[in-house]
Structure 1
Amino acid sequence: MVYGFKKEVFQKYGDNGSNVYRKCLDCFAVLPLASIVAHQVYIAHGGLFRNKPKRSKGKKRRKSSLSLGSIQQLSKIQRTVLDPCSEDSDIILADILWSDPSMTAGLSQNDDRGVGLFWGPDCTEQFLLKNNLKLIIRSHEGPDARDGRDGFNGMDEGYTIDHSVESGKLITVFSAPDYPQFHVFHH
């Protein structure tokens, strides 16, 4: 809703908008959050994610430092909500969808977006090594998101290599060629 998808569906499909929108949400709910291709390439919309802290019964949850999640955690995610930003959602789901790379080492909250993480080249290296991978591909940011981000190139070629580490690379692909504000790229 925040990015206008619901409004667009209702505008395009009129009286059938509600049904079409519900069907789209049903499709989104069964799409994979991430994929591993050829045992070497991790693909996700946003990227990396945190290790979800275990809840201890009867005790207050301690504030823990952020650590990188594992591929094994992905199969355990409960997809009971469609809005990954809601309080009831799984934090890993929100991270996979909305996290962004950084040139600064480590993991930190992505306060720019209010959801997800920032992760540095060291985390890319750690994730690739831990999971015996060579490449991370994500598609979450477009050219507008790159403006003003120190150390990041524009997307004039449709993709950028964001981290190049000993074990492999992190690539962001701009995957929305019909993005209205970027029709200039097609001329």
Structure 2
Amino acid sequence: MRSSIVAENLVALDCDVVDGLFSELRCRSGEAEEEPIMCGISHNGRGRMDPAVLDKIIERLIEVRSTKPGKLVQLSESEIKQLCVASRDIFIQQPNLLELEAPIKICGDIHGQYSDLLRLFEYGGFPPQSNYLFLGDYVDRGKQSLETICLLLAYKIRYPENFFLLRGNHECASINRIYGFFDECKRRFNVKIWKSFTDCFNCLPVAALIDDRILCMHGGLSPDLTNLDLIRNLPRPTPVPDTGLLCDLLWSDPGRDVKGWGMNDRGVSFTFGPDRVSEFLTKHDLDLICRAHQVVEDGYEFFAERQLVTIFSAPNYCGEFDNAGAMMSVDENLMCSFQILKPAEKKTKFMMSAKT
């Protein structure tokens, strides 16, 4: 019988407001921040940059947190290309299905909302103070996709065994060519920079397994996912195909009124019902599926009797939705808690059907 350690501890208590942060505490309130530990992935030293150069890039990227949100950080074309090449080498060296260990903090979609990414780090601890797993969709829609992806890649290079990035459906040339990232690259640099990012994105891992109990991906389940080795064996580098396992891992959605597999309103991939979640967890001896890909009002939302959780980390998404953003912390005992970023501004309209 599969363990219920995660499900038993995903019970929300009251929210405390601290400096604009809601912290929903499950247990151990008031304990000190856990010490970061290696997450179980090693590399052979390739994909390196000059540490001094890398640290300077990170310093320039995060120093704007003390300024008005929206201030641009203009890295050089050479610096950005170095970030793309060095991180790409690390992604390829590490598995397509990352096998990680708690403690770790998990973040959902960022979508170029750079000031909110910095807020997440302020609350969760800047690397390497905490280990991080991001679930994809770093670019498009927001105004600062370049700063967002450059900081994430820089941290990946600087802390390759503590900081992890999964691929989202927007880390795909055919998508970010349309939804803003291509235009931002072309406006601030040139098309060659966009192509450098495309080469990097095509090497990103697509799923992570935390302590053999929590399976993480950007989108969701697939009818083709009969064995986790199928994820491990997906080829890289690769674009995202229109159908199949890789497409579904990045595009599928849970559907409350669905039994089995259903049509997806996005026109891509499938929806899956609570029954598919339960069957999958039981078959693979897992406790929880953690995914992103959809705007949810409180920054996180449960599905299938708390067997799946959606995390979305871009508050006030696109400046139009009155949603919060969330970050999920998993401690050494696989107890899960949520830190919630309130939207910066109140809007009058919120639409739960938004697609990301």
Letter in 2 for 1:163: A
Question: 1:163 Cα shift?
Answer: 1.8
Would the aligned equivalents of 2:316 and 2:344 in 1 still touch at CA under 8 Å?
A: no
2:234 equivalent to 1:77: yes
The answer (yes or no) to whether the contact 2:240–2:246 under 8 Å persists in 1 is no
Q: Please, which of 287, 293, 296 is the counterpart of residue 140 of structure 1?
A: 293
Residue 186 in 1 paired to residue 344 in 2?
yes
Query: Is the contact made by 1:41 and 1:137 (CA closer than 8 Å) also made in structure 2?
Result: yes
What is the aligned-residue identity percentage? Answer: 34
Of the structure 1 ranges 176-185 and 97-106, higher mean CA displacement relative to structure 2 is found in 176-185
Correspondent of 2:263 among 106, 109, 116: 109
Q: Secondary structure at the match of 1:171?
A: strand
Equivalent in the alignment of 1:9: 185
Q: Does 1:174 align with 2:328?
A: no
Verify: 1:43 aligned to 2:200, yes or no: no
Equivalent position amino acid for 1:113 in 2? R
- SS at the partner of 1:30? coil
- Which residue in the other structure is 1:60 paired with? none
Asked whether the equivalents of residues 48 and 69 of structure 1 are also in contact (C-alpha less than 8 Å), the reply is no
- 3-state SS of 2:202 partner: helix
Give the equivalent residue in structure 2 for 1:159. Answer: 300
1:128 equivalenced with 2:281 (yes/no) = yes
1:44 and 1:97 in contact (8 A); partners too: yes
Structure-2 change in CA distance of 1:117 and 1:76 (3 Å):
same
Output the amino acid matched with 2:231. Answer: L
| 2:192 corresponds to 1:34 | no
Larger radius of gyration: 2
After superposition, the CA RMSD in angstroms is 2.1
Deviation at 1:178, TM superposition (A): 6.9
Higher relative contact order (CA 8 A, sep 6+): 2
Amino acid paired to 2:213: Q
CA distance in 2, matches of 1:25, 1:173: 25
DSSP-derived class of the 1:115 partner: coil
Q: AA paired with 1:162?
A: F
Normalised by the length of structure 1, the TM-score is 0.70
Distance 1:7 1:50 in 2: 35
Following superposition, the deviation at residue 183 of structure 1 comes to 6.5
Cα-to-partner distance string for 1:119-145 (whole Å, 9 max, x where unaligned): 000100011111111111111011xxx
Distance in 1 (CA, whole Å) between partners of 2:317 and 2:310 is 16
Q: Which moved more, 1:118-127 or 1:177-186?
A: 177-186
Q: SS of 2:307's equivalent? A: strand
**Aligned partner letter, 2:277:** T
Q: Deviations over 1:131-183 (max 9, x none)?
A: 111111111011xxxxxxxxxxxx2321100221xxx6101111334732347
Q: TM-score, normalised by structure 2?
A: 0.39
Q: Residue 174 of structure 2 aligns with which residue?
A: none
Cα offset, 1:80, TM superposition: 5.3
- Report the secondary structure of 1:25's partner residue: helix
SS at structure 2 position matched to 1:186: coil
